[in-house]
Structure 1
C-alpha cells in the first residue's frame, strides 16, 4: 500500500483524534486515537524516529512521481473505498516493528478484530509524529509530547506490543 495523503484531526465531540490515510489505490483507512492511547504509543514512535534520524537511509521517494508533501494541501475526497469500513477503527493495541534498514511498521488493532498495518519510512514517520503533536495540542490534551526517546523504555529487539 502506498500512502498518498495522511491527515490527523481533532474530533472534539468524541474527544479523539481521527487519523485518515489515503492510498494511491483510492482506499481510505480511518483510525480513532484516544488521549490515553496516544500517551502510550508516543514513546515508541519517538524512539523509532530517533533511530531513523540517527541512521538515515536514502529516500526512494526522491525519484517519485508524487509532488512534495505539504501540510497545506486539503485532504482529497475522491469517493474512496473503505476496506475496513467507513466507521473508524478504535485503536486499542499497537505493535511496532523496526528494521535495521531505517524502516518500521506500526500495526494498530481494535481489540482482536480489525487491524491496520502502516509501513513507516523516515519521511512518513516524521510527518506522522508532527501531525500527532499538532493535533494533540489543538485538542488541548496537555500530553507534552517530546521527541526525547526515553532511555528506560525496554522492549525486545524488533517488536513491541502495547495494549
Structure 2
C-alpha cells in the first residue's frame, strides 16, 4: 500500500496527536499517538534515520515514494473526498510499535493497539524525515515539552523485531 499523504494534527481535547495516512486507493488510516508513545518511539525513529536509512537521507521538499508517478508534496491539502477507512473511522490508539529494516533504503513501522488493530507504514528516508518533522511540530504545538532531537540514543538492549513499546 503506497503512501500518498501524511498529516499529523493535535487533538487538544484528548491530548493526543492524530496521524492520518492516505493511500492512492482512497484509503485513510488514523492512528493516535499519546505523549508517552511518542516519547518512547522517537529514539527508535531517529536511530533508523541515522542508521539503516542514513545513506539515503536528503533534505526533503517533496518525497519520492518509489512508486512510478507518485509523490507526496507539502503544497497539496490533505485529501478528504471519497475516503474508505479499512480500520474504521475511530483512530487506532497505538500502544505497541515494531520498527525494522525492510530491504535497502526502507523500513517498516508497525503500530498496534494491543491485540486489536494494527497498521504497517512503509518508510523511506524521505517519508521518515517528513513524519519526524510533523510529529515534532505537532508535539510542540501540543506543548508536550518533549526533547525530540535527532541525536537521541537508543538503548543497546533493543533487538530487531522486538516490540519497542508495551
Structure 1 residues 61, 21: closer, same or farther in 2, change over 3 A? Answer: closer
Unmatched segments (≥5 aa) in structure 1: none
Distance in 2 between the 1:138 and 1:71 partners? 19
Report the equivalent of 2:69: 65
- Asked if 1:125 corresponds to 2:121, the answer is no
Distance in 2 between the 1:71 and 1:160 partners? 33
Report the equivalent of 1:90: 93
Deviation (angstroms), 1:133: 0.4
CA deviations over 1:71-90 (Å, ceiling 9, x no partner): 34211111200000000000
Structure 1 residues 150, 82: closer, same or farther in 2, change over 3 A? Answer: same
RMSD of aligned C-alpha atoms?
A: 2.2
Report the equivalent of 1:115: 118
Q: How do 1:20-59 and structure 2 match up within 5 A?
A: 20-56=20-56
Equivalent position SS for 1:159: coil
- TM superposition score normalised by structure 1: 0.89
Is the contact between residue 98 and residue 159 of structure 1 (CA under 8 Å) also seen in structure 2? no
Which region of structure 1 is more displaced relative to structure 2, 91-100 or 147-156? 147-156
- TM superposition score normalised by structure 2: 0.88
Runs of 4+ in structure 1 off by over 6 angstroms are none
Deviation (angstroms), 1:62: 7.0
Deviation (angstroms), 1:70: 3.0
Alignment coverage as a number of residue pairs: 161
